[in-house]
Amino acid sequence: MAVTTIKNYLSLVKFSHTIFALPFAMIGFFLGRYSLTTPQTINELVLKFILVLICMVTARSAAMAFNRWLDAKYDALNPRTAIREIPAGIITSKNALLFTIGSAILFIVTCFFINPLCMALSPVALFVILFYSYTKRFTALCHLVLGVGLSLAPIGAYIAVTGHFDLLPVLFSFTVLFWVSGFDIIYALQDEAFDKEHKLHSIPAAVGKTNALRVSELLHLLSATCVVFAGIHGHFSWAYWLGVAVFIGMLIYQHSIVKPTDLRKVNLAFMNANGIASVVFAVFVLLDIFINR
C-alpha cells in the first residue's frame, strides 16, 4: 500500500519531468564549485549537493501538486487530463494541498541550511513557481512564467555553492527560460480548443496552432542564442560545443515532427527530445568543466 501511495504522488507531480531542470541545476552547481576562491571540503560539497537536490525535488513537487490541486476542476472536464490523480479520485484534493504545503515548508527549511541568500530568496522562488498555476486564467504569457520558474534551477544551484550571483549561470537560466517556454507552447497545442471553450489563456488559444509554433520557434532561437553566448562568455572547449550541437539539434528535431495539422508526435517532442536535450547537454558541459576548470 505504501509503495502504491508513493507511486501515486510521484505521478501527481510528474517526477519524471524533473529531467528538464535538474541537469541545468547540476551545471549551476559545478560551475559554482569550480569558481570558488575559498576551497570547501568534500564533506561540505557533498552536503550542499544533497541540499540542492532536496530543494529541486521539494520546490518542483510543491509547484506541480499545487497546479494539480488548483486545476482539478478543469482537469476533470478535459478528456486528456481526466485520468489525473485528483479528478480520478486516486488522491484527494485535500491531500494534494497538504502535500504542497509540506513540500514548500521542506524547501524553505532546506534553503535555511544552505546559506543566507538562498534563505532570503526562497519565498520569492516559491511565489514564482506557485503563481504560474494562476496565470492561465488571465494571460497567454503563462508559458513564459513557467519558463521563469524552471530557469531558477541553474542560478539557484550556483548561489547555493557560492552565495552570490554571476553572469554565466544567469545565461544558462535564460537558456532554460526560452527553451521551456517554447516547448510548453508545443505541449499546449493539444488543448487549444479546450482552452478557448473554457476561457483559459495560452499562446495556441490566442493566436492559433500555426502562429503558436512560430512563437515557439522564436523562443527556441533565443534559447540557442543564449547557450551559444554562454559558451563564448565561459570560454568552454570542444566538449561544451558538442553538447550545444545536440541541444540545438533536439530543438530543430521537435519542430520538424510537430505540425499544426498533425499533433500525434507532441509527446515525443515534449518528453523525448527535450529530455535528451537537457541530459546530453549537461553531460557534455560537466565533462568540459571537469576537464578544463
Query: pLDDT band for position 271 (50/70/90)?
Result: confident
pTM (two decimals): 0.95
pLDDT value of residue 250: 96
The residue range of the domain holding 194 is: 2-292
Tens-digit pLDDT profile for residues 167-198? 999 999 999 999 999 999 999 999 999 999 99
What pLDDT, on the 0 to 100 scale, is given for residue 221? 98
pLDDT over 60 at 231, yes or no:
yes
pLDDT tens for each residue of 101-140: 999 999 999 999 999 999 999 999 999 999 999 999 999 9
Closest CA to 207 of 216, 198, 258: 216
Number of separate domains in the chain: 1
Rounded average pLDDT over 82-102: 96
What average pLDDT score do residues 55-81 get?
96
Q: What percent of the chain has pLDDT over 90?
A: 88
pLDDT at 156 over 90: yes
Mean pLDDT of 41-47: 89
- Tell me the three cell numbers of residue 239: 566538449
The CATH number for 206's domain is 1.10.357.140
pLDDT at 1 (0 to 100): 54
pLDDT bucket at 23, cuts 50 / 70 / 90: very high
Identify the residue with better confidence: 205 or 17.
Answer: 205
| Position 269 confidence tier, pLDDT thresholds 50, 70, 90 | confident
For the chain, the average pLDDT equals 94
